[in-house]
Structure 1
Amino acid sequence: MSSDPQPPMSRRGLARRITIQALYQWLVNETAPQVLLRQFQLQEEGLGRADPAYFEELLLGTVDQAPQLTMALVPHLDRPLVQLDPVEHAILLLGAWELINKIEIPWKVVVNESVNLARIFGAEDGYKFVNGVLDKLARQCRAVEIGG
């Protein structure tokens, strides 16, 4: 853990953080999303201050659309999908879901939140990879918002 002081995370930011943990379990252990929802909602500190409705929306939406999200991400990857670190894979799926489904959230916010999650959970330079992939996807699916 870094000793740098972190600003307090928003309720949605905390929901994203917990969603990454749940998606990781889904990717690695193939745990059913409904089981994950119950697991995280039952843990005493599981959801904490996180927005429970947003957690549920993120988890179920990302799992439900995983094949389509993967197809959107693959053209922007610099390695085969099977070589992705599961943490980075989870972060990319979540970021792609928000870019595609939550157009009310500015694309820069989605990418920044994903990069922050990669800094917390990912490999040392994983955040750079996440940033590059989601930036390319945003330019494709949010071209009007970005202006090009």
Structure 2
Amino acid sequence: MTHSTQTPAPDTSEAYLRKRRFARECALQYLYQADVQAADGVEPPSLELFWEQVRSLENFLAEPLFEEARSFAERLMAGVRENLAELDRRITAYAENWTLERMSVVDRNILRLAAFELFWCADVPAVASINEAIELAKEFGHQDSGRFVNGILDRMLRERQAETKTSEPGVDGVGEAQNTRVRDKTLHAPGSAPDGDVTREGRAS
């Protein structure tokens, strides 16, 4: 009896795409708020309160997609926070002539999310992680954020491939790269005023 060793094709279903994009947007909002509050010496927002606020939106995902998205989002949130020093070291190493402090809060947290996926999430296609980060940068960042994020992550990907000595044959990232924007609403972190949110222009209004 023979067993197939072929790598399963990426899930390209609309439901999968929506929950992954939703998860990344939620993770970005949470990390953005935590970053802003840390600069003010304030503890990060409570996860439970954060998710209660997300559920209050009219356009949040239906069950069980919401719980699946929440699980992935919390994996990203925890991973970034637990590995923040190493993630920032890698970002700084490839951000030519840029310090983390010079970057917008949106850009640096998108880079942290994508870098965590690249180096700690072997189950996520690398190209999909980069493409999704670029889309987040275009949506929530400033005019040049997409190119800025792409340049740094492209150099990171080459490092990742050098570290593992392998590329990812057969993975084109299409599974997560073709999704459109999940919603038009901006997430408001619990206990914050609207000026502490990620806006589509990538700056606190």
| Fold similarity call, TM over 0.5 | yes
Q: Is the 8 A contact 1:18 1:47 kept in 2?
A: no
| Partner AA of 1:59 in structure 2 | M
Give 3-state SS (helix, strand or coil) of 1:142's partner. helix
Mean Cα displacement is larger for which, 88-97 or 19-28? 19-28
What are the residue-to-residue correspondences of 1:129-144 with 2, within 5 Å?
A: 129-143=148-162, 144=166
**TM-score, normalised relative to structure 2:** 0.63
What corresponds to 1:10 in structure 2? 18
Q: Which has the higher contact order (CA 8 A, sep 6+)?
A: 2
Report the alpha carbon displacement of residue 45 of structure 1 after superposing the two structures with TM: 2.1
Structure 2 alignment gaps of length 5 or more: 1-13, 170-205
| Partner AA of 1:118 in structure 2 | A
- Name which of 68, 74, 92 aligns with 2:86: 68
| Partner AA of 2:167 in structure 1 | E
- Percent identical: 29
1:25 lines up with 2:33 in the alignment: yes
Give 3-state SS (helix, strand or coil) of 1:99's partner. helix
What corresponds to 1:119 in structure 2? 138
- Name which of 124, 129, 132 aligns with 1:105: 124
- Name which of 95, 101, 104 aligns with 1:82: 101
Mapped to 2, the partners of 1:36 and 1:63 lie a distance apart of 14
- Name which of 44, 48, 56 aligns with 2:60: 48
1:37 lines up with 2:55 in the alignment: no
More helix by share: 1
Mapped to 1, the partners of 2:168 and 2:76 lie a distance apart of 23
**TM-score, normalised relative to structure 1:** 0.85
Deviations 1:14-38 (A, max 9, x none): 10011111111111112545x3422
RMSD: 2.2
Structure 1 alignment gaps of length 5 or more: 1-6
| Partner AA of 1:22 in structure 2 | Y
Q: Is the 8 A contact 1:114 1:130 kept in 2?
A: yes
Give 3-state SS (helix, strand or coil) of 2:101's partner. helix
Mapped to 2, the partners of 1:75 and 1:66 lie a distance apart of 14
Mean Cα displacement is larger for which, 51-60 or 86-95? 51-60
Deviations 1:17-74 (A, max 9, x none): 11111111111112545x3422321111299224111111111111111111011111
Assess, with a 3 A threshold, how the Cα gap between structure 1 residues 27 and 84 changes in structure 2: closer, same or farther.
Answer: same
Paired residues, number: 140
